[in-house]
Amino acid sequence: MNLLDTDALIIVDVQNDFCPGGSLAVEGGDQVASTLSGVATRFRIKGARIFATQDWHPEDHSSFEAQGGPWPPHCVQGSHGAELHKDLQPPVGTSIVRKGADKAVDAYSGFLDSNLEEQLRRTDIGRLFIGGLATDYCVLNTVLDARKLGFEVHLIEDAIAAVNVEPGDGEKAVEKMKEAGAQMTTVEEIKAA
């Protein structure tokens, strides 16, 4: 596999609130942050594009428990919890894609309530490499939407981590992504590209 300038790395929601110590922490989220920093460096060296999605919720977002949603408040606009994790060091030129600013939209997918598709189409990107948080929510929905939109998708299987509200949710999500046509890849395969 060769990385091309028509490839893109999509780093999904590697934010403080989804990492250990955050309001909706995913076990291993900090490790995903540092792993994806290395992957992003490889993409930059090869001239490929890098995008990082970022939940960017208003204080009264519909997904929050106070509004009848399933989640505690997380990734509130301008808060420490909404910032990218310190161990994620995306290279200069990384495009930050904010989503979920509409209080009525869950925006699990990086393509929902954002301009991600427009940015990818404008730069003639055809192949996506996706990693981040959480496997069973935002990564899953981003991958499924990318496939529906016709992108070739490679899931970086050792650069994801799941919430696992129910045991095995992460594994089920990976199976759904495979069934949708996502191909599996690893950090080592990307570093060798």
Residue 86: active-site member: no
In this prediction, residues 63-84 reach a mean pLDDT of 96
Residue 148: active-site member: no
Q: Which of 17, 19, 99, 136 is catalytic?
A: 99
**Cβ neighbours of residue 136 closer than 8 Å, sequence gap 6 or more:** 162, 163, 164, 165, 169, 170, 172, 173
- Mean pLDDT (the chain) is 96
Q: Which domains does the chain possess?
A: 7-161 (3.40.50.850)
Residue 13: active-site member: yes
Q: Give percent of the chain above pLDDT 90.
A: 97
Q: Which amino acid is at 30?
A: D
Tell me, what's the pLDDT at 110? 97
Per-residue pLDDT reduced to its tens digit, 17-48? 999 999 999 999 999 999 999 999 999 999 99
Per-residue pLDDT reduced to its tens digit, 45-62? 999 999 999 999 999 999
Give yes or no for residue 193 having a pLDDT over 90: no
Q: Which of 13, 17, 30, 136 is catalytic?
A: 13
Contact 74, 17 (CB under 8 A): yes
Per-residue pLDDT reduced to its tens digit, 105-139? 989 999 999 999 999 999 999 999 999 999 999 99
Q: Which of 19, 55, 75, 138 is catalytic?
A: 138
